[in-house]
Structures are given as C-alpha cells and as structure tokens.
Chain A
Amino acid sequence: MRTIRSEEVEQAVYRLAEEACLGIIPSCMQAIGEAADREEAGSAAQFALETVLLNARTAKAERMPVCQDTGYAVILAEIGQDVHIEGALLADAVNSGVRRAYEDFRFRKSVCDPLTRVNTADNTPAALHTEIVAGDRLRLTFLPKGFGSENMSRLYMLTPSQGVQGVIDSIVETVRLAGSRPCPPVVCGVGIGGTFDTCAFLAKKALTRELGTHNPRADVAAIESEALERINALHIGPQGFGGKVTALGVLCEVAPTHIAGLPVAVNIQCHCMRAARTEL
C-alpha cells in the first residue's frame, strides 16, 4: 500500500491544467503542419491552417491559452489498487486544482447550470473518470474539452447486422453533419462496443491517444484508416472553407458489447488537441 496525499493530487491537476491549456500537443502540431502543406497554396484552407500554427507559437511564447475555450476540465485518474489517497476526497482535490488553475492562469470559466445557464464561476465541477488499475501509482490525464466540437459528437446504437460498415458510416456521417461548425480539421475519438455509457467514455478515452497511432488490433486500425479516407473525401476542409483535410485522425477504442447491440460513440475534437499527463 502506497499513500498519496490529496494535496499532491491537487497540485498535479493545477500544473496539468496550465500545461494543457497553453499548447497543442506535438503530434497534432505536426499533423496540422503536414495538412497545411497538402492544401492548395494561397487557399483559404491553407491560410486557416497557417494561422492556427502561428497562433500556437504565439500562445506558447506569450503563455496565453491557445484557444479561449479552455474547456470543460476532463480528468482521467487511473488509480493503482495499492494506492491510498489520504486527506481530502479525490474529487474535491481535483476540483480544487481546477478552480485554482483557472483563476491563477486567467483561463475562461465555461461551466454553467444546464437550465438556468448561471456560471459556476470557477470552471468546476471537473468531469472526473476513475479507473482502478494494477500497481501503486496514480496516473492523471487532463483534457480541456472545448464544446464547439463536443456539441457535434454523436452516439449510435447500431444493430449487429450493420457491422463494420455501419461503424464506418456512423463516423463519417457524424463529421459530415458537423460540417464547418467544430473547427475542422477534426480528430474523431470513437468508442465501439460496451454499453451506452461505457461506449461514450471509450470515445473520450480514445482522444487521449497521440495522433498518428493506430489501435493494436488490425481490424480496428483498418476502420480508423478507412474512416479517415472517407472523411477527407467530404472536402469540408479546414474551417469548412473546402479542401483536402477535414480530419487529422480517427482514433478507435473497442470493448466487448451485448449480443444484441453495436454501440458506436463519436466524440469530435477540434484541431486544437490539448492534453497533459503525469504519474504520482
């Protein structure tokens, strides 16, 4: 049994929020750079991507949030089952780290009551997902999730007869219906299988993967590649201005499902892919 103080968790979340909101992850920067090279010289699409790259460099140099939507704070905590957290409740420690970071680093507070729309004024609560894993470490991943892209996400309850084709069609349809709205080129986090709720979580978890990686299962990796190709054939293009690159990547995660179902969740991420992780 290893003891971790809740104050360590709070401080880790605080630092992760800062790191995540100030920049686009390197694998995504690289993908945007490659996309800019692929677009027609002088096109609005290329202008959009070059502006995005310049913005990321400016944000880094001036320590400004890369996007003003510093997001709903999504935190994945993978807790070794030999860890004991001492002090405050885990959720309270996480929320306290978020609250302090969004105030100190002057990030936008974007969380409100769903009905009255009154802002909670400190960007809490965070969306905290916990998983119990082997070992005595605590791994934390921070995803500031913007809602321009979150709004364009979808969940399909397909039937088994729709199969792999149905899965790919659902991914492509989600991006087509989103059109110019989610800040394309997008990244699709896709959950395949599980239940209604775990499928959506898988889609979110897929977005913690690096761009350019493939699911280790060959059949799943093939879905990622075919879906990406079909999405880019839509020619929505950067910012919806038309062009060759509508998505930078499709990341799929799978889990066993019920014999009667085939859930597919597509979580859309804008080109501004942000994440930070640490291990305590």
Chain B
Amino acid sequence: MKTLTLPLTDEAIEALHAGESVLLSGTILTGRDCAHKRICEMLDRGEELPFPLKGQTIYYAGPCPAPEGKACGSCGPTTSARMDAYAPRLLDLGLRGMIGKGERSAAVCEAIVQNGAVYFAAIGGAGALYGNAVQKSELVAFPDLLSEAVYRFTVKDFPCIVAIDCHGGNIYKR
C-alpha cells in the first residue's frame, strides 16, 4: 500500500489515482457542518481564519471524547456531501486534500481538478480504527462547537482509498 506524508506535495497529488489504497501520516484538520459554516461566514466578513488553509487536508469528522490514555476517541468519517456547499470555495483558497465518505457534487469534482487537489474516502463506520490512528489531537478553533470544533490531528498510517483524483478519476462514477 502506498504511504503518503501530509501536508501533501504537488508531486504526491499528481501521482494519485482513484481506486488506490493509501496510508496517510502527518497532520490534518477536522471540520464538519458547523465549522464549515463558520469558516465561510468569517470569509464573508473578510476576517482572518484562526488557522491557515493553504496546503492543508480537512477530515470531515467529529470525534468521540478521548478516553484516558488515548489522544482521541472513535473518529470515523462523516458524509462529505453535506460539505459540498462549502468545499469549492475552500479549494480555491488553497485547501489541497479532503477526507470523508461518499460521493461529491459536480462542482466539487470540478474544483478538485481545477485546483489540483484530492479527495480521499475513509471507511465509514470504522471509528475505533481511525481514532486509534490519531497520535495527537490539539484544539485549533471553535471550542463551543464541541465535537464539531476544529482539531489538528497528527495521524499515523490512516487508511484511505483515493476517491477523486486531480485528473478527474472518480471511484463513484460507474
């Protein structure tokens, strides 16, 4: 299985093709419904985000609270389609990778190709495995959103499938 280090480089993204399995290691940001809404509201107001988006990978997830002795509780992917309304804008601002589950809208697929980005599918329902792949978790923004806050995860060998690549390859297109 291919191993990838995050943040992703242009060369690494270009070499990815839909359908291949990868193990991700490095840092990712979590963000789901409420965090996306808030990020876009801040952008609308012209405010600076509390974290840089450029070059980053966002994991659509809201973890369970961490049990004692672990960095993170169960933390599998949530349905990416709910973030489709926001994703093209974030990709245009330099977001390079997204991790979630399920198909994306035509607008997101187009923005992935235009911006040379990539969308990884994590396996939905595998919360315990993904939680255990998180070695470190830091709260970055929006603590009032509880599990929907933005966390910076340091992950090791986080298993994914390349779902939509920068060449337009798409595992969900049959």
Contact = CB atoms under 8 A, between A and B. Distances in A.
Interface of A: 44, 47-48, 51-52, 54-55, 58-59, 62, 64-70, 106-110, 117, 119, 121, 148, 151, 179-183, 235, 239-242, 270-272
B63 to A, nearest CB: 6
Interface of B: 19, 21, 33-34, 37, 61-67, 73-76, 78-79, 81, 101-103, 121, 123-129, 131-132, 145-148, 159, 161, 171-172, 174
Nearest to B146: A119
B74 A44 contact: no
Nearest to A178: B102
Given A108-B62, A240-B103, A242-B174, A67 B125 contact: yes
Given A58-B128, A59-B127, A68-B73, 19 more contacts: A47-B123, A48-B123, A51-B129, A55-B125, A55-B129, A59-B128, A64-B67, A65-B73, A66-B127, A67-B127, A107-B64, A121-B146, A183-B102, A235-B174, A239-B101, A240-B121, A242-B171, A270-B124, A272-B125
B78 A69 contact: yes
Contacts of A69: 62, 76, 78, 127
A176 B28 CA distance: 32
Nearest to A119: B146
Contact of B126 (A55, A107, A235, A240): A55
Contact of B21 (A47, A70, A108, A270): A47
Contacts of B121: 239-241
A223 B14 CA distance: 47
A23 to B, nearest CB: 10
A68 B103 contact: no
28 contacts: A44-B19, A44-B161, A44-B171, A48-B161, A51-B159, A52-B123, A55-B128, A59-B127, A59-B128, A62-B132, A64-B73, A67-B76, A67-B125, A68-B62, A69-B78, A106-B73, A108-B65, A109-B146, A109-B147, A117-B37, A148-B78, A148-B101, A179-B172, A182-B102, A183-B102, A240-B121, A270-B124, A272-B125
